[in-house]
Amino acid sequence: MIILACDHAGYELKEQIKEFFNKENITTIDVGCYSTDSCDYPDFAKAGNEKVLEGANNVGIYICGTGIGMSIAANRNPKIRAALCTNVNFAMLARKHNDANVLVLPGRYINRTRAIRLIKVFLTTNFEGGRHLRRIKKLKGA
Ligand code: RB5
């Protein structure tokens, strides 16, 4: 399942992404926010994390203005590996090397087309395991 979360600065892009998934007949869970009224990204990172962790194959897409606040907030949960990505290589490597379960996008600095391109790559790239698994296991002690 794909979980969408945003703050007011990510709302517009989140709606565009939701519409993209709807057209593809892919179900998403939208934990908010639901308007451009000012709100606090930690609330939505928390709501998103809770849903992402309900299913082993769940993936989150979180959006705030820069993506930085959502990344910091989401990564407070030790089971979440949230990666702020602005290009296709980052989106690919976030999955291959980091087994990221949340893609974070900067709503104010990325357009719909590029966001969808990153999302497609993120959702279709597998974790490589091996030495990268060893490193992920060490994150516990970081
Ligand atoms: C909201 O103005 C903005 O600070 C927020 O969306 C995000 O960019 C924080 O990191």
Instruction: Please report the pLDDT score of residue 3 as a whole number.
Output: 98
Q: How many CA atoms lie within 13 A of 120 on its CB side?
A: 8
Give this prediction's pTM: 0.97
User: Ligand 1 pocket, 107 CB below 6 A?
Assistant: no
Q: How far is Cα 123 from Cα 14, in angstroms, rounded to an integer?
A: 16
pLDDT cut 70: percent of the chain above it: 99
Indicate the top mutation candidate among 64, 86, 109 to test ligand 1's pocket, ranked by most ligand atoms within 8 A of CB: 64
Label each residue of 75-141 as H, E or C. CCCCCCCEEECCCHHHHHHHHHCCCCCEEEEECCCCCHHHHHHHHHHHHHCCCCCCHHHHHHHHHHH
Instruction: Please report the pLDDT score of residue 141 as a whole number.
Output: 62
pLDDT at 20 over 70: yes
> Quick one: tokens of 135?
């490193």
> Helix (H, G, I), strand (E, B), or coil: what is residue 74?
helix
> Quick one: tokens of 70?
């959502």
Q: How far is Cα 71 from Cα 83, in angstroms, rounded to an integer?
A: 7
Domain ranges of the chain: 2-139
Q: What is the CA radius of gyration of the chain?
A: 14
User: Tens of pLDDT along 122-142?
Assistant: 999 999 999 999 999 999 865
Instruction: Please report the pLDDT score of residue 140 as a whole number.
Output: 83
User: Tens of pLDDT along 82-134?
Assistant: 999 999 999 999 999 999 999 999 999 999 999 999 999 999 999 999 999 99
Instruction: Please report the pLDDT score of residue 24 as a whole number.
Output: 97
Instruction: Please report the pLDDT score of residue 72 as a whole number.
Output: 98
Residue nearest to atom 5 of ligand 1 (CA): 65
Beta carbons within 10 angstroms of residue 138's beta carbon: 9
Q: How far is Cα 32 from Cα 54, in angstroms, rounded to an integer?
A: 17
User: Tens of pLDDT along 54-75?
Assistant: 999 999 999 999 999 999 999 9
The CATH number for 2-139, chosen from 3.40.50.300, 1.10.3080.10, 3.40.1400.10, 3.30.2320.50, is 3.40.1400.10
